[in-house]
A = this chain, B = another copy of it.
Amino acid sequence: MTHSSDEPLTVPMCSVFRRFLKGQGLKFTPERARILDSVLSKLGVFEADELLTEMRQEGRRVSKATIYRTLKHLLEAKIITEVLIDPKQTHYQLSVGHEPKGYLVCVETQKIIEVDAPELEAIRDRICREHGFEPASYRLVIYGVSPEAAAQGHDQEA
């Protein structure tokens, strides 16, 4: 195994981003490095504000504006992907390593579980072929009630 854990990705990803920025005539600043670093530490989906808070707690100072601006570049560099599961806020996730295709969203607790569903690829390909689409990314989102929420009796019946 050449690079199976989580650490080794950081360095190459940094190069990827740097190369992307250079290609666009943009600069690789410490702020961008720090943001990329925080993003790479994320295992699942995350929000812009979450990054801001965590970075502040760790003393890695950045402004809200810079976070949003950098997230945009990371999207363009295809290092992260948008995950739209919440109408109030955009979620992101790393595109590399694992790109889980399925999300179980508990409508009671808002908790998000990421799951794998290899069969989706075939469906995606079939649909895209039928419509002449060139697929970029995809996801299956399932909303429902988690066992925890059901157990806690989030009552809905009067």
Name 5 interchain pairs, CB-CB below 8 A, sorted by A.
A84-B85, A113-B131, A128-B142, A133-B146, A136-B143
Within 8 A of B (CB), among A81-109: 82, 84-87, 90, 102, 104, 106-107
User: Is A123 in contact with B113, judged by CB distance below 8 angstroms?
Assistant: no
When chains A and B are docked, how far (Å) is the Cα of A150 from the Cα of B133? Answer: 9
User: Is A144 in contact with B128, judged by CB distance below 8 angstroms?
Assistant: yes
- Residues of chain B within 8 A (CB-CB) of A124 are 140, 142
- Residues of chain B within 8 A (CB-CB) of A82 are 87
Give the distance to chain B from A45, nearest Cβ to Cβ, in Å.
13
Q: Number of A residues contacting the other chain (C-beta, 8 Å)?
A: 38
User: Is A145 in contact with B141, judged by CB distance below 8 angstroms?
Assistant: no
The 4 closest A-B pairs by CB, nearest first: A132-B147, A87-B90, A138-B142, A135-B144
Give the distance to chain B from A42, nearest Cβ to Cβ, in Å.
18
> Is residue A73 contacting chain B, with contact meaning CB distance below 8 A?
no
Q: Out of B104, B134, B135, which one reaches A127, CB within 8 Å? A: B104
